[in-house]
Structure 1
């Protein structure tokens, strides 16, 4: 069994309004679904992606009002990659980041790809990565109504970095249980630390890649605004999800069982270094309850919480993203 790549990454924000402004107006991603946390209906769950929210293009945020800052450290998902089509796009983004005063580290290279490390206004750690020399999992298609020209737009999720205190336990789960394969390593950015190890799944490439950074010098991360909650991997359908659930249960890893999220079905489990993984189906997707033309404009609620709409809308502060 192999995953098709990364499905989505879910992070935390203290302000849905500021988050929406940055990811749509600065990064030019499309808000494809404006919903709520299905386990806590008083908070927004915002989904930014390509033109129709294809699996593998989706960066999501839970709004947690009043949440404190992140104290960065170990046992964390410490970086989210975002793909662009070319080296020319990377050059475009440097100018755009300077125009909008986005904190960044300039252009560098990682595994033969041009990259830019940058942060959102809450300290979310992000990386743009060029697909100029990339092969593997197909990218998405940027929305043609974005403020960013289509040829430079964000096409999907790139490599996701995990930071852990020791490699062996995470490597065991990735390779033996989840069937990732080790493909490369590169020097750590911090002197005296082990190389960063690179693992891929499915067709490989930047859209199917996990980087594992070992840090022996850090305490455990204390999450807050600007931290990542979980990373999800793509499975085709319910049948494949059930097969993976059986496999995870055989390992006796703590898990959620299969959960219906309406836009996909999910299975959550935690690996021994504390990283929360989700396995998510590609089906049915975000067009199940909204037409493509108006994705993300109204508050979308799955049928099993639609009866609470009036209560939910009375709690949430309206976003300037439609009705």
Structure 2
């Protein structure tokens, strides 16, 4: 369940708890109880009396306000949309008897309370799933794995900040490396991808058999696997950053850093309020022409001497 940038699972859980115990409960308590069904075919407005009319107005206002609040917390539009779906339209617009209207209101509000509590439980499970992650979490992309030396030789906990870290490889990145190992147009990149593929196989085997995988410097490695039923974004970079954001929301106040030299990825990370970083240049593969020592040459390739004659037309 992806939340808005800056919103954590703990904050969303508290919000939903307040929502159920507060506004939803107030609307539910205002629904009048009818001892028996009213006559079928009689317009509700003629028999409902002021209580049900007031309740319907309160229900309508509450769903509108709460939908806006939910949209500020949850990135998934399906969550606020649940408030004003088919059930809402049936309750508000169908010519039902007061008894039937009140009954449907009770059912719908009970279902909403259950829905929100299930969302809370999902987020609690997510928080618990990542509880073992260390204080610093480094999320790498395919660009990093392909343009740095083999990732199991880099002392991540030392060169990307200070203190023990967890190195996280999103599931989509694992599959991206797999695809590049046989379908990439460049033979150079295909060969590198095959090397990374072998290392990722070791990681997956270790996680499968022992439940953990640790590098020589003590850095833990985890694969951020997709949950059952998870729907990916169409673009791999968007998906990788969204998964990093999902992880940040679950483990806060521990800090995620996106490790990439890809400026597109850096921009996407900033959209989600995620910091980015990269290992020192000495871990780059020299032949790619990246890093500080290649900067001047790279800039020179796009530099042109222009005479300052005052005419810019």
TM-score normalised to the size of structure 2? 0.22
Larger Rg: 2
More strand per residue:
1
TM-score by length of 1: 0.21
Relative contact order: is structure 1 or structure 2 higher (C-alpha 8 Å, sep ≥ 6)? 1
* Structure showing the higher helix proportion among its residues: 2
